[in-house]
Amino acid sequence: MRVLSIAAVWLLGTALVAQAPVVRRPPPMNGPQAPASDDSQEQAPVAHEGTIKVQSRLVNVAVNVVDATGAPVGGLGRDDFEIFEDRKPQKIAVFEKNSSTPLEIVLAIDASESVFGDERLERNAAKQFVNALLRSEDELDLMDFAGTVREIIPFTNDKKRIERGLGEMQHGDETALYDAIYLGAQRLAGTRQDNGQRRVMVLITDGVDTAKGTGYTQAVEQAQRAGAMVYSIIIVPVEADAGRNTGGEHALIQMAQDTGGKYYYVEDPKELAPAFAHVSDDLRTQYLLGYYAPEEREEGAFHRIGVQLKDPALRAKYRLRYRTGYYGNTR
């Protein structure tokens, strides 16, 4: 079992995470930024110089298309979509239906006393999710968080190992939610990208951060720098509870919208398995669109992404969900 450090050191695009206790508030990012989140490398030799110029400008965008009932819409083609960066149209260079690209997943479970109720149901639901979703090309990192964030099982495809890790979660009094998002995004930022892997974070939490460490803004920025889609399974005691603090829930909803993920409410532990199934279905019914970012774009700045269907009739009929942008030194 390992405990995540706050600082990640990158060497040639690979994150090397030291084993050290987690402090609650990650420091501001200095030096090299997180590796590109959705990059493919475009290599062009410089004539007769014996050197290679490497350009990493490919921006991949996972897109979910749903109808009025929320059901996924299939059968669309490359020519049905338009994509924009900072409101300027871009040429779609990559297109894939019902994306089968590999997944790098962080599963982070809130182990605070306010959430950790029926441990058996939670563990079984997570086990079903892993068994249903994880293919041979996918990897999953298991974390829990209460007062601190722990990496129980680092990225692996070994389902039995993950299952054992689910039995090793530790309870706590506080909820370091935004620390978990920040650190999970750091771990995702160091994962492979050679096969266009999609980066996903799945949270089980009540949405309330009580550890007073990392803030919301830091957490969502780190998720965007990693190109991570954030899916939140929000545990609520009673949907209409007048004393319920909905601020944290709304923050997770906004984060899902900004990163192209989704959120689900769960009032009973028995609803966890269906919520996990929704996440799995959502990831399996995505379109993958890719374009090469303009060479003249401002490095380090946040660039807005827009995707729409060309046909106005289809635009009125269907709804699209995707990440809203990326930072200029990440994809």
pLDDT tens column, 182-239 = 999 999 999 988 777 899 999 999 888 888 889 999 999 999 999 999 999 998 865 5
Q: Give all strands (DSSP E) within the chain, no chain letters.
A: 4-11, 14-19, 42-45, 52-55, 58-66, 81-85, 88-90, 94-96, 103-110, 139-145, 149-156, 198-205, 228-235, 262-266, 287-292, 302-309, 319-321, 325-327
Where do the structural domains in the chain lie, given as residue ranges? 42-96+290-327, 99-284
Q: Would you state the torsion angle of the CA atoms of residues 121, 126, 129, 131, taken in this order, to the nearest 10 degrees?
A: -100
pLDDT tens column, 79-112 = 999 999 999 999 999 999 877 889 999 999 998 8
> In CATH, what number does 99-284 get?
3.40.50.410
Q: What is the band of 240 on the pLDDT scale with cuts at 50, 70, 90?
A: low
Cβ atoms of 37 and 227 within 8 Å: the answer is yes
pLDDT at 195: 79
Of residues 206 and 36, the one with the higher pLDDT is 206
Q: What is the band of 135 on the pLDDT scale with cuts at 50, 70, 90?
A: very high
226: its two tokens:
């990693």
Beta-bridged to residue 262, according to DSSP, are 231
